[in-house]
Amino acid sequence: MTNTLNGAEAMVRMLQAQGVQHIFGLCGDTTLPFYDAMLRLDHNIQHILVRDERSATYMADAYSRVTGRPGVAEGPSGGGATYILPGLIEASESSYAVLGITTDISVGSYGKYPLTEVDQEALMRPLTKWNTVIRRADHIPRMVRSAFRAMTTGRSGAAHLGLPYDIQYDAVDPSDIWADPELKSYPAYPQAPAPGAAEAAVDAILSAKNPLIVCGGGVVIAGAMDELDRLATRLDIPVATSISGQGSLAETHAQAVGVVGSNGGTDETWEMMQNADLVVFMGARAGSTTTSRWEAPGPATRIVHFDNDPMVIGANYRCEVGVVGDLRLALAQVNAVLDQRGQGAATFGGAAAIADLKTRKFAEFNRLAQSDAAPIRPERVIQSLMDNLPPDATLVSDPGTSCPYISAYYQLPQPGRHFITNRAHGALGYALSASLGAWFGRPSSKVVALMGDGSFGFTVGELETVTRARAPITFIVFSNSNFGWIRASQYADKDARYYNVDFNRTDHAAVAAAYGVKSWRVEDPGDLDRVLREAIEHDGPTLVDVICQNLEESNAPVRRWMG
């Protein structure tokens, strides 16, 4: 470390001190000092140049999800600052730690109508957990520390730092370059529940006749999967999840019900929600999708709620017991209470009920998954992926056509974050770029990105980034030449009055090939399994363009379209 640092160098050194290993970003005029510092200084940070600032934050988001460390994205002033917003709000609402750094015009130019002026602090305030525009170079170290503390403690979320051009040249005292090592990953400084809370939760659960645990993303974020497994197994209690909660248990676990709710849930899993006399929400906000717009649990259902955010407890349901604290610590306390009471034998008969449920749930899926009909059924794609992907594969999906099928039917064989989708705001174009962030974060895992052809058009330019990185990601495009989710909604809600949802068919395989991606176009269901196997095994990026059935013609597991 040199005896003097300028502001840009101080930012690089602070990111290094915080343990940052990858930054996803896009260059701009106001970024020149920062990029020069990245070039000249000796550090172990890899910068990945992207083609769109939205993609940078989507990459940082998925990177954070698979590593448990803050993801970092950066972009320039003006348009760059506005483009970086979608990924920050998705990460913040989904409780993942992502830092957005936007360089800015000079502080000395504020209010003089310079090119690319925008009030970044006001812009980012409603979208992030913590946010500031730094106005003095000597504030850089403590503002970076504050951002990491905010992102990683309590309910994790996104933070934003604005870095004006002129202060990147001002002096910073090198002795202030330090970081708290606890903040390199999250949840940092986890807090245990209040005394007596775990006991009260156990009392409530054991007094129920037909309890159901419903897990959200908080279980995986907290790393509470082993404690949940122990609890569910010892009590033989059914465990359902939201889409974000997938991975709380392996889908193949005897106590795993699967996804419940209006997206990715089925009539069979919904029976569990309707029949429960006590629902235990764990790291789930009991939002509109998981509860099918609060249709269930009903008013008579007892509620126990575990979450590290006290604002969530009682927000949507009257809560009999609220347990506020880190999920891993909370469930460890619950298991300790059961240990003390000698409670270890099976209690609620969940495994038998779930086995029957899954037999009924998969009967129709298995029939459609073997269909030779063309266009290709989405179920056939899901089955082929299950047959050909390794157990530790990572699937990344846009929220459109592919998401409900994966959530309902793909049997994730391992717990943990192996399925990623942007459930908070559902922006299209997420999966193609996020998959690269997932690969940088966990390169040992085979990454597969799934999307509709509408989504593909949003961020197709990142195929160049993927080929430059030589990332062996497999992209699967469900092609039906329309924005399928909206078309299916117009079919179900507007008596099939279709308006402005269809577009021309594109040869996505040819587009991918032009970027240097090995690609296939599949129309015959008989070719699907062979092509997917070749694509998955290829040592490099691949794309399979699947000509598939329209969503409104399918048996999509979306409750308002079914029946």
Tens digit of each residue's pLDDT (9 = 90 or more) over 313-362 = 999 999 999 999 999 999 999 999 999 998 776 789 999 999 999 999 99
Q: Which two tokens stand for residue 241?
A: 């999840």
Mark 232-244 as b/e (b = at least 16 C-beta within 10 Å): bbbbbbbbbbbbb
Residue with tokens 């939002």: 287
Q: Does residue 508 carry a pLDDT above 80?
A: yes
The whole-angstrom distance between residue 264's C-alpha and the CA centroid of its chain comes to 15
- Residue-wise pLDDT for 420-455, tens only, equals 999 888 889 999 999 999 999 999 999 999 999 999
Q: What is the pTM of this model?
A: 0.96
* Cis geometry, peptide bond prior to residue 193 (ω within 30 degrees of 0): no
401, 482, 505, 551 from 489: Cα distances, Å:
12, 12, 21, 9
Helix (H) or strand (E) holding 3: none
Residue of higher predicted confidence among 224 and 560: 224
Output phi, psi for 253, to 5 deg.
Answer: -65, 145
pLDDT (mean) for 211-223: 98
Share of the chain above pLDDT 90, in %: 87
Average per-residue pLDDT for the chain: 95
- Residue-wise pLDDT for 510-542, tens only, equals 999 999 999 999 999 999 999 999 999 999 999
Query: How many angstroms separate the most distant Cα atoms in the chain?
Result: 72
Q: Does residue 1 carry a pLDDT above 50?
A: no
105 near 117, Cβ under 8 Å? yes
* CA nearest to 518, candidates 490, 500, 504, 537: 537
Beta-carbon contacts of 211 under 8 Å, excluding residues fewer than 6 positions away, are: 205, 237, 238, 276, 277, 278, 279, 280, 348
pLDDT number for residue 4: 86
Pick from 117-126, 146-155, 528-537: least confident: 117-126
The band of 485, judged by pLDDT with boundaries at 50, 70 and 90, is: confident
Q: Which two tokens stand for residue 213?
A: 């645990």
Query: Cα–Cα distance between 301 and 303 in angstroms, integer?
Result: 6
* CA nearest to 251, candidates 468, 98, 418, 41: 418
pLDDT number for residue 483: 85
pLDDT (mean) for 456-481: 96
User: What is the distance between the terminal CA atoms of the chain, rounded to a whole angstrom?
Assistant: 66
pLDDT (mean) for 468-491: 91
Domains and CATH numbers, the chain: 5-184 (3.40.50.970), 197-352 (3.40.50.1220), 370-561 (3.40.50.970)
13 near 177, Cβ under 8 Å? yes
Provide the 8-state DSSP code for 552. Answer: G
* CA nearest to 23, candidates 115, 135, 161: 161
pLDDT number for residue 81: 94
